[in-house]
Amino acid sequence: MGFFQDALVRFNRVVMSYAGDAVFMQAAVSAAANVIVADGDTDEEEIEAALVSMRANPILEKSYDTLALERALFEALARAELRAGRLENLQQVAAIADRPQEQRQHVFLIAADVADKGGITESEHKALDELAKALEVDKAALLG
């Protein structure tokens, strides 16, 4: 029975990755949004970098079209304008802390790609520190 259950769990994960992993998608857009607003300026280049990075992720690319990702990102950006919204976004990110390390690293790297547009500012480093803590990943190793 254990083998059957394990196979079923793995099958469900594969299906979920193709059917749309909303929790993962929300983590990705929330992480990107918190970095985009970190320096007080919502830059179009950072938004485009977030969308490009999300489309490069196999789970998001297979599950969501660009319009759906863009809509979710703009909702996360609207939340991020206020402290309470940034905290809510951080909670969305922390919701995947029990996921495999690869998924957590992907979300962090999406945010890092956003921060890297024009160089990572001190406020963006702070946002990345918060994300790394929430995702339980090694920021220094990933930014290497």
Residue labelled with tokens 């254990």? 2
Instruction: Give me the pLDDT at residue 1, please.
Output: 52
Instruction: Give me the pLDDT at residue 18, please.
Output: 47
| Distance between CA atoms of residues 61 and 82, nearest Å | 29
Nearest-5° Cα angle at 86, 136 to 79: 135
Instruction: Give me the pLDDT at residue 19, please.
Output: 56
| Distance between CA atoms of residues 50 and 81, nearest Å | 17
Instruction: Give me the pLDDT at residue 20, please.
Output: 76
Instruction: Give me the pLDDT at residue 118, please.
Output: 81
Which residue ranges of the chain lie beneath pLDDT 50? 15, 17-18
